[in-house]
Copies of this chain bind each other. A is one copy, B any other.
Amino acid sequence: MVDSNAKGNRRERELVNLLYDNDWGVMRAPSSGSATERELPDVIAGNAEYFYVIEAKSSSGDPIYLTEEEVDALLFFAEKFGGYARVGARFDREKWTFFNPRALHRTPGDNYRVKQEDLPDGQTLEELATGPL
């Protein structure tokens, strides 16, 4: 199952804490439904060398799908801001793993997909710190 809002929210906080504990400067977007209609990434993180704008997704095991619109908005923000766009994927009993959305599998419906077996193709948090793949 892909995570419910409550669990997704918990996972997102987990990611922010993880980045913080690893000495990143990190800001989480205000919860949606706030004043702005603008598309924001879930998290911005920087380690004084690399900047990432991250869309965070979690699942107990089923594949994670992102719509083309979600990914386009992420790429657009990353370009304006000046950081690397990443999809952060968290499957139960696995570590947070980060993917360049441009390298993700596209579905016939033009969505993006991350499967649990794709994790070896992504970057760990430690690897993000040393720069994009």
Chain A residues engaging chain B, CB cutoff 8 angstroms = 13, 16, 20, 23-31, 35-36, 38, 40-41, 44-49, 51, 53, 77-83
Q: Is the CB of B13 within 8 A of A48?
A: no
Chain B residues closer than 8 Å to A79, beta-carbon distance: 25, 48
| CB proximity of A66 to chain B, nearest CB, Å | 19
Q: Quick one: copies of this chain in the complex?
A: 2
Shortest Cβ distance from A53 into B: residue? B25
What are 28 A-B residue pairs whose CB atoms fall within 8 Å in the complex? A13-B35, A16-B36, A24-B80, A24-B81, A25-B53, A25-B77, A25-B78, A25-B79, A25-B80, A25-B81, A25-B82, A25-B83, A26-B81, A27-B27, A27-B29, A27-B40, A30-B31, A46-B51, A46-B80, A46-B82, A46-B83, A47-B80, A48-B80, A48-B81, A48-B82, A49-B82, A51-B51, A51-B82
